[in-house]
Every structure is written in C-alpha cells, then in structure tokens.
Amino acid sequence: MMSAPLDRRALLSGALAGAAALAARPIAVRAAGPAELRVAQPWEFKTLDLGEAGFTYARAGITETLVASLPDGRIAPGLAQSWSISDDGLHWRFRLRDAVFHDGTRLDAATAKASLDRLLPQSLYLKRVGIAAVEADGLDLVLKLDRPFGPLLSYLVDNSAAVLAPGAFDGEGRVRALIGTGPFKVGAAELPRSLALVRHEAYWGEKARVAAIRYDAVGNGDTRTNIAIAKDADIVFNLAAQGVGRAASAGMTIERVIIPRTHILMLNCAKPQFAEAAARRALSMALDREGIAAGIMRNKALAATQYLPPTLADWHFADLAPLRQDVVAANALLDAAGWPRGADGIRAKGGVRFAGTVRTFANRPELPVIATAMQAQLRAIGFDLAISVGEAQAIYEAQKDGSLELGLSSRNTVFVPDPIGTIALDYASDVIAPGSTGTTNWRHDGLRQEVARYLAEADEKRRATARRAIAGIIHQELPIIPVTWYDQIVAVHPRVSGFVTDPLEQRYFFDRVTIAS
Amino acid sequence: MSASRTSLWPGGAAGTVLRIVASRLVQAVLTALVLASLCFAFVQALPGDAALRIAAARSGDDRVTAESVARIRAQEGLDRSVLAQYASWIGQLARGDLGHSLVSRQPVWQELADHGRYTLGLGALGWLLSYAIALPLGIACGFRPGGWLDRGTNALAVALASMPSFLVGIGLISLFALTLRWLPPAGFRTGAHMVLPALTLALGLAAFSVRIIRNAVVEVRGAFYMTFARIRGRSAGSAFLHHGVRNAAIPVATFAALQFAYVVDGFVVVETLFNYPGLGDLLVKSLLARDVPMIMGAGMVVGLMYAAVNLLADLACIGLDPRRLAGHSA
C-alpha cells in the first residue's frame, strides 16, 4: 500500500536541499585556518603500507627512522641520539632518545624492536642488508648483521622501516594507522588525495612553527602550475618548467635544485648494435645534451656530463671526462668498429642495421620530446631511431621478454641517501629492476666486485676508492647513457619563510617553516 | 487545494507505478551486471601485466620490485585463469560483496561511496546551475522566437555545445583563476573550489537544454489549449503559467534524464581537469592501474545510476501527465 501522496513542492524542496547539502559539505569541513600551510605535490597517499607509500609519510614529517639525512647528504641522529659499531662490524648499537609517539606511547627499545621486526621484511632496501636480529638491550637497540655492511646508516634512512607505535599495527602486523614520532601527526586523511596534519606538541626536538599542514596530491603538472599561478597553495612541488615564468610573475618565489634523478637512454646490450662499448660510446657522443637540457628541460645546467649529478658530491667526480657531443669522433669510432654506412645513410654490420626502437612514456611529458630530439641527433651518426610511446611499465615487460631495443626513462638514484642502493640493484644484480630503469643484459664482474667491496667496507677512505672505481666503470662502459639530470622546481608563496629544498627528497623540513599572518 | 492537484498521480494507480518500478529495477540490475562483465572483459583484453601495473600504482614506477610484483600477483589471485577470476567475482557479488580495490585495498563499496558523494555533490550543483541558466533563458527565447535574445542564445548554445568540456574548463580556468584570480583553478578544499567545475558542467548541459526548453515553450504557446485560454480572457503569461508549464515540462524532464549520459562523460574530463576526487577521476585511475574490481564496481554503479535517473524521469513525466499511466497498465 502506498503512503501519503507526494507533494510536488515538497519533493522539489527536498531535492534542492539535498543537492545543496551535498554541494556545501566541503565548504563546512574544509575551511582553511589562517595558520595552515597548504601544499600541492604530485605524490598520492596510496596506502598505509610503508613499503609502498612510506616515503610520502616520512617526507611529511609523520614518521621517523633511527637516523636521518640532511640536505647535504650527511647522516644525522634521528630517533637514535648516538650509535657505535663493534670491531667486527656485525653489531650496531643505537642509544634511543626520549621520544613520545603521537598517541602518547613512550618510545623505548622494546617498541622500536617490535616495529622494526614487523617492517624490516617489507623494506625495499634494508631487507638486503643482512640484519640477522634486532634486540632490545635496556635503553639501546642492537642490530646484529650476518655480514659487515658499511653503508648501514644510509640504508637505515629507508623510510619503509620507520619506527611506529604498537597501536599502529593490527593483529596481523599490518599498518592500520600512522602513529609515528615526527613533528606532525595525522589530523584527518582522505586517502589518496589529501592529508591534514597537525603539530605534534610533545615532539622530542624543536616544535614545528606551523600549527597545521594540508597536503593535496595533484598528479597533473599543468594543474600544479595553475595552482602556483593562482597562488592557491603556499608550496607547490614539481612545477612544469614551462610554467616557471608565469608563477614568478604572479609573485611566487621559485626554487630550483638539481636532485639525484637522471634521464637515461637504456640499451639492450644483448642486441648486436649495442653489444660493443664502442658503439654505445658513439651513441652517447651523438647526443646534444646541452641543447636538450636548455631547449626541453629549460635549464642548461642539467646536461648530464656523467651518471650522477654534482648534488651527490661523494659520487660525482670532476676527473671523469664529461660526456659531450662530438659527432666527428662518434663517426670515426663507428667506422673503426666496422659499421659502414649504407646507401640510405644508416650503418650496418654483418646484416644488422644500426637501428632500434626506443620505448618511452608520457607520464613525464618531456621524455617523448627528448626522444624526438634524439632521433635527429642519432641520424647524424647513421643510427635509425624509431619511437614508441606507451606506458612506463612496457619498458620492463620488453626487458623481460627480450624485445627491448632501447628505453628512455628516468631513474631516482637515492631511495636511501647513498646511490649504492640503486647502483647495486641496477648494475650488479641479475634481477631486472621493474622500475624500468636498470641495465639490460649487461654484466661486468669488475663492477660487481667493487660494489661488494663498497658494501662490506666501513672505512671511509677505502669506500671512496671503491666509489671512484664504480663510477669510472659505469662512465666508461655506458650500459645506460645518461642524458640529463633533473631539477626539482618549487613555487613558494611569499607569506612562507624558512623553506628548505632537500635535494635528496627525503624530507620537506616543514617544521622549520613559518607563515606570515 | 484538492487532493488530486497535490498528488503526483491519482489514487488507484499506485500498483501500476510499483510494477513499473519493479520491472525497471530488474532491468537495471541485469544491465549493471552486463556492464560490469564487459568492463572485466575489456580490461583483460588490455595489453600488459596487471600485477606490474598494480604495483606501480601502489608505490610509483620507481619503487616497483620483482618481489612486489610477484607478491601482488599471488595475493590478489592474478595468477589464476581469467575465467576463475571472473567466477570468483560473481561468487563474491552473490554474497553482496563487491570485493576490494587492488591498489588501496579498501572495500570497493567504500571507495565508490567516498568518491560518489563528491560526484553527486558536484553533479547536483552543476545540474541545478545549468537549469538556473537555461530555464529563464529558454522561456524568454520561447516567448519571442526569432528575436535578438533567441538568435544570440542560439549562437552561444551552438558554440558551447560544439566545444569539448575540457576546452570550456580550460577557458574558465584561464579567465577566472589565472587572469582575474577570482576563483581557485583546481582542488576541493573549499566551496569556492567547486564553482569552476560546476560551471563547466552547467554550461555544457545548458547549451543543450536551453534549446529544448525554448522549443517546448514555442510548441506549447502555439497549442490550441493556449489559444482557448486566451479566448477565455487570460493574459499570455497567465495562460502559460496555468496550462503551459506542465506540458512544456514533459519533454524537458525526459531530456534531463538523457543528459545524465553527458554528465557521466563530463565527469571524467571535469574531475581530471580540476583534480576533483569523484567517480570519474577514480575510474580513470583504476583503468590506468588495471584495478579490475574497482572498474567493475564503478561500471555497475554507473549502470544503476543511469537506470535510476531514467526511472525518476519517467515517474516525473507520469506525475506531470497521469494519462501516460494508461500506456503502462494496458
């Protein structure tokens, strides 16, 4: 049986009221307070799993690790105020500081051990270190290794193994809440798009000056640029180079810093056209890196003269001959290597054309444009380059099935603040890195020995020797060809002061920032 | 005021209305199931390794490892045959469970609800705004067909209708956010952030509905019952109010439902352009990540919403013109 007949006017008023309530909801709950720092950045907060999205929470100052990195790459005390290492290099003892988690729980060696026991197995880098046991010994936390591991402190900055409170985990050991020790704690979260943080009043260090931060994940670079031009955020990360002028004209301060990321041309060294180091060097010499850096990246200083940028002072060597364009020398090298030109100007040897298809992707909009620039430059030395633009993961799939010829990709080289983490994976491992950015079918036993020596070595002088040897082999052999480095462009609202850009992208340091009223 | 004037349909017709609702619901559920199954088939036909894409969506391209891909493949059952995966989803659905997102690991229904409320809010605002623009303009043009307002509105409507919504959105951002600096260009932090996306939707919708309203008014004004009302001494305005509005509203209500398809299409563009966390944005991201349960869930919801909107339009038309019930009960 039907109830009372519906009144049209009541129906219409109800619909209008409902729509208005739905539409107005964001207004009511999202009004920004005057002391809120508004941040637009490209990284979404996808999951609570630190192994997958831990870097976003560490950068934001929610989670902390035993040690921390400084913008100049040095390792500083974090939750451990000091540490010592046994003579055999197998026992690392960390004295924990007096800190309180966001939920009021006190940090001690037992809680730190419980957290690391749960998170270490999922840590991308730390699980490769060989930590045999984590022990709580009074006020100290002791890491027992099954082999000496020199760069352990850098690896401990791996934010997928941060120290969380016992209440952060569910019964199965999965992270169900982000309860860390950092200067900011989670106020409200709407994953994956926004995260509202408030100051942790019981922070062990100097308390943050801003009371609250709101992060918005904005994936599209053009949209971030629009936000900067409209000054609708205080700090906008990863601005498109093309938008810098307009954002500056709008009154935003522009910060540019070269970060450890390199745009690389990957070569499948199993293919005859890329098997010889001479041919790879000739391809490298054909590239006009300065032109690409100035014309496409809008910063001439980004031309990659070697694999790692000067930002990584320990790993950047002034005595390595800079990678530069030299078409005459490149042609001479190929002539000498027995790659004569055919009638169409393209070289061939033993029936193999000096040609290949480069796979790249448009998530980084500059990459297809760089590929197009390379096409003309490589033709000058008799190489025929075809371009295929698809998804980033297609490079890895082609690596796996052996069909990859060339790939144009981008590699972040410091997930932990020592590039050895990435170099060991990309250059000294038989497993292809699905990040689509490792070497392909290239093996160098000398390099593997140097990597092993570096990893086991605690003495800084001997480590420096190994570093130089590793960099030299990569530079000489060119299993991948560095094209440009990359600069982080940040637009900062004039009301913000104290902003520091971390070239290692480990932390935002927003606890040092102040906002003018 | 008599009871018959305030009810949507006359007493005694409730059974017929309920039968219409029930049959439409059955149709809607079947359509939603077919739509979801098609979504599943299309995603399976896409090239590439789904586990790899899920891993990349969770942690970013750089951080994917062979171990994380293998773990996801095993944990999410992506190593099973396509048929086994489909059968598993159907089994879950039969238990009233839409499954969980392979990227966020949240229940699909929760993700849909979280994003859906944003889409509903924006959609309702855009739709109301479109009629706030189109109704007065359409009626005014219908009263003076061929006049300067009618010709001008027609030209503007043609221009707007021929423009893709992303172009309209970019134009609005350029003007109101980047040049005049009156409104924010993207996001969802405050109410002001909703204005430009709602206006983008509204202009696209109004471009079509203003002509429908104008034509309905012209037709109604030319009908014999309007002439008869004038003969009885009513003014043009009074005759239209008493006899024309109800008749003119029928094609407008039917068209409003058809506009839903445009709205769904528009959301994908508008939410992406304005970084707005609604269903359109969720659908695009889920497709890129090969998040099959989310895509199927979104397909079902869109199908059900489409059916619901059409049903509401039909009921509104029956309410406006109860003689239509005769066709359904025959």
Judging contacts by C-beta atoms under 8 Å, the chain A residues touching residue B274 are 223
Q: Which residue of chain A comes nearest to B116, CA vs CA?
A: A22
Bigger pLDDT: B23 vs A271: A271
Mean pLDDT of chain A: 90
Strands A348-349 and A352-353: antiparallel
Provide ipTM, 2 decimals.
0.83
CA distance A46 to chain B (A): 6
Q: Is residue B181 within 8 angstroms of chain A, CB to CB?
A: yes
Give the model's pLDDT for residue A30.
40
Give the model's pLDDT for residue A471.
97
Q: Is residue B227 within 8 angstroms of chain A, CB to CB?
A: no
CA-to-CA distance for B325 and A448, rounded, in angstroms?
A: 82
pLDDT classification of B328: cutoffs 50, 70, 90: low
Give the model's pLDDT for residue B113.
92
CB A46 to CB B188 under 8 A? no
Mean per-residue pLDDT for B309-315? Answer: 81
Whether residue B16 is predicted with pLDDT greater than 90 in this model: the reply is no
pLDDT classification of A26: cutoffs 50, 70, 90: very low
What's the number of CA atoms in the CB half-sphere (13 Å) around residue A161?
31
Whether residue B35 is predicted with pLDDT greater than 90 in this model: the reply is no
Give the model's pLDDT for residue B74.
94
What's the number of CA atoms in the CB half-sphere (13 Å) around residue B326?
4
Q: Which two tokens stand for residue A377?
A: 């430059």
Give the model's pLDDT for residue A1.
36
Q: Is residue A43 within 8 angstroms of chain B, CB to CB?
A: yes
Give the model's pLDDT for residue B324.
67
What's the number of CA atoms in the CB half-sphere (13 Å) around residue A212?
12
| Residue A258 near residue A487 (C-beta atoms within 8 A) | yes
Mean per-residue pLDDT for A432-444? Answer: 81
| Residue A254 near residue A475 (C-beta atoms within 8 A) | no
Whether residue A52 is predicted with pLDDT greater than 90 in this model: the reply is no
CA-to-CA distance for A275 and A269, rounded, in angstroms?
A: 5
pLDDT in tens, A228-266: 999 999 999 999 888 899 999 999 999 999 999 999 999
Q: What secondary structure, in 3-state letters, does A67-106 show?
A: EEECCCCCEEECCEEEEEECCCCCEEEEEECCCECCCCCE
Mean per-residue pLDDT for B184-198? Answer: 93
In chain B, residues 35-74 whose CB comes closer than 8 Å to chain A: 48-49, 52-53, 55-66, 68-69
Q: Which of A58, A45, A46 is nearest to A509 (CA)?
A: A58
pLDDT in tens, A192-202: 889 999 999 99
Alpha-helix residue ranges (DSSP H) falling in A96-135: 109-119
| Residue A238 near residue A221 (C-beta atoms within 8 A) | yes
CB A230 to CB B184 under 8 A? yes
Give the model's pLDDT for residue B217.
84
Give the model's pLDDT for residue A190.
87
pLDDT in tens, B314-323: 788 777 777 6
Question: How is the beta sheet containing A80-85 ordered, strand by strand?
Answer: A80-85, A91-96, A140-145, A131-137
Q: Which residue of chain A comes nearest to B184, CA vs CA?
A: A232
CA-to-CA distance for A437 and A419, rounded, in angstroms?
A: 14
Give the model's pLDDT for residue B306.
80
CA-to-CA distance for A381 and A146, rounded, in angstroms?
A: 51
Interface test with A, best of B61, B103, B127, B200 (most A CBs within 10 A): B61
Closest residue to A393, CB basis, from B48, B186, B190: B48
Longest dimension (CA), chain A: 95
Give the model's pLDDT for residue B22.
85
- Of A72-76, A99-103, B10-14, B207-211, minimum mean pLDDT range: B10-14
Q: Is B144 exposed, middle or buried (0-12, 13-18, 19+ CB in 10 A)?
A: exposed
Give the model's pLDDT for residue B263.
73
Q: Tell me how long chain A is.
A: 517
pLDDT in tens, A260-297: 999 999 999 999 999 999 999 999 999 999 999 999 99
The single residue listed with the structure tokens 């950092």 is A182
Q: Which of B279, B263, B277 is nearest to B109 (CA)?
A: B279
Question: Of A9-13, A385-389, B254-258, where does the model show the most confidence?
Answer: A385-389
Q: Is residue B257 within 8 angstroms of chain A, CB to CB?
A: no
Strand partners, A185: A198
CB B66 to CB A5 under 8 A? no
Whether residue A4 is predicted with pLDDT greater than 60 in this model: the reply is no
Whether residue A368 is predicted with pLDDT greater than 70 in this model: the reply is yes
pLDDT in tens, B224-277: 777 777 777 777 777 777 777 777 777 777 777 777 767 776 788 899 999 999
CB B191 to CB A27 under 8 A? yes
Mean pLDDT of chain B: 85
Q: Which of A47, A37, A36, A42 is nearest to A217 (CA)?
A: A42
Q: Which of A432, A435, A438, A403 is nearest to B55 (CA)?
A: A435
pLDDT in tens, A148-199: 999 999 999 998 889 999 999 999 889 999 999 999 999 998 888 899 999 9
CA-to-CA distance for A92 and A135, rounded, in angstroms?
A: 10
Residue B314: which H helix or E strand, with range?
Answer: helix B292-320
Mean per-residue pLDDT for A18-47? Answer: 64
pLDDT classification of B12: cutoffs 50, 70, 90: low
Give the model's pLDDT for residue A34.
52
pLDDT classification of A404: cutoffs 50, 70, 90: very high
pLDDT classification of A25: cutoffs 50, 70, 90: very low
Whether residue B63 is predicted with pLDDT greater than 90 in this model: the reply is no
Q: Which amino acid, residue B288?
A: L
CB A23 to CB B198 under 8 A? yes
CB A391 to CB B120 under 8 A? no
Whether residue B222 is predicted with pLDDT greater than 90 in this model: the reply is no
In chain A, residues 223-262 whose CB comes closer than 8 Å to chain B: 223, 226-227, 229-232, 246
Q: Which two tokens stand for residue A416?
A: 């932990």
Bigger pLDDT: A52 vs A65: A65
The single residue listed with the structure tokens 């008493």 is B242
Closest residue to B58, CB basis, from A47, A193, A412: A47
Q: Which two tokens stand for residue A400?
A: 């796996």
CB A43 to CB B187 under 8 A? no
Give the model's pLDDT for residue A436.
53
**What percent of chain B is predicted at pLDDT more than 70?**
92
Q: Is residue A192 within 8 angstroms of chain B, CB to CB?
A: yes
Q: Give the dihedral sign, CA A53/A59/A61/A64.
A: positive
pLDDT classification of B327: cutoffs 50, 70, 90: low
Mean per-residue pLDDT for A506-515? Answer: 93
